[in-house]
Amino acid sequence: MAQPDYVVFGLVSGIIILGFGGELFFKRTGIPSFLFLIFVGILLGPILGVFPGQQLEPVLGIIATLTLIMVIFYSGMDTQIRTVLSGSGRILVQVTLYVIPSTFAIGFVTSFLFHWELIQALIFGSMVGGETTAAVVIPLSRGLNLGENTVTFITVESVLNSIFSVVLFTAFIGSYQTGTASVEGALTIIASKFSVGIVSGAVLSFVWIIILNHLKEYRYTYVFTMGLVFATYAISSTLGGSGILSILVFGVLLGSYKILNSLFKTRPLEMDPLQKQLGVFQGEISFLLETLFFVFLGLIFVVNFSQIIENFVIGFLLLGLLLVFRTFAASVSTLKSEIAKDRSKIVLLCAQGLTPATLAIIAVNDGLPLGAIFLNLVTYVIILTNIVTTAGSLWITNSTSRSARKEKIGLSFRGDEANS
Which tens digit of pLDDT belongs to each residue from 12-35? 888 888 888 877 777 776 666 777
pLDDT band at 287, cuts 50/70/90? confident
Which amino acid appears at position 134 of this protein? A
Which amino acid appears at position 116 of this protein? W
**86: CB partners within 8 A, 6+ apart:** 149
**C-alpha–C-alpha distance, residues 101 and 321, integer Å:** 10
CB 194 within 8 A of CB 164: no
pTM comes to 0.78
**pLDDT at res. 3:** 60
Instruction: Report the chain's terminal Cα–Cα distance, integer Å.
Output: 80
**4: CB partners within 8 A, 6+ apart:** none
**53: CB partners within 8 A, 6+ apart:** 41, 45, 46, 296, 298, 299, 300, 301
What's the Cα-to-Cα distance from 338 to each of 87, 231, 306, 324, rounded to whole Å? 11, 38, 48, 22
**pLDDT at res. 24:** 79
- Looking at the chain, the whole-number percentage of residues with pLDDT higher than 70 is 85
Which amino acid appears at position 332 of this protein? V
The pLDDT tens digits for 302-339 are: 777 777 888 889 999 999 999 999 999 999 999 888 88
What's the Cα-to-Cα distance from 152 to each of 82, 129, 155, rounded to whole Å? 10, 21, 5
Q: Which of 104-108, 317-321, 382-386, 409-413 has the lowest mean pLDDT?
A: 409-413
Q: What are φ and ψ of residue 220, in 5° steps?
A: 65, 30
The pLDDT tens digits for 142-164 are: 777 777 888 888 888 887 888 78
**C-alpha–C-alpha distance, residues 157 and 147, integer Å:** 15
Q: Angle at CA 25, nearest 5°, toward 340 and 127?
A: 55
CB 143 within 8 A of CB 30: yes
What SS3 string covers 268-295?
Answer: CCCCHHHHHHHHHHHHHHHHHHHHHHHH
How long a stretch of residues is the chain? 420
Q: Which of 250-254, 279-283, 358-362 has the lowest mean pLDDT?
A: 279-283
**304: CB partners within 8 A, 6+ apart:** 311
**C-alpha–C-alpha distance, residues 232 and 165, integer Å:** 20
Closest CA to 36 of 66, 7, 15: 15
CB 162 within 8 A of CB 134: yes
Q: What is the DSSP letter of 304?
A: -
| Helices then strands, each counted (H, E), the chain | 16, 0
Domains annotated for the chain, with CATH where assigned, are 5-300+308-413 (1.20.1530.20)
What's the Cα-to-Cα distance from 124 to each of 50, 95, 109, 170, rounded to whole Å? 30, 18, 11, 12
**pLDDT at res. 365:** 80
CB atoms inside a 10 Å sphere around CB 201: 28
Query: Phi/psi class of residue 303: alpha, beta or left (left: φ > 0; alpha: ψ in -120 to 50)?
Result: beta
170-174, 263-267, 384-388, range with greatest mean pLDDT: 384-388
Q: Which of 54-63, 269-278, 351-360, 396-405 has the lowest mean pLDDT?
A: 396-405
**C-alpha–C-alpha distance, residues 384 and 25, integer Å:** 19
Q: What is the mean pLDDT of residues 293-306?
A: 77
CB 147 within 8 A of CB 365: no
**C-alpha–C-alpha distance, residues 137 and 64, integer Å:** 17
CB 111 within 8 A of CB 117: yes
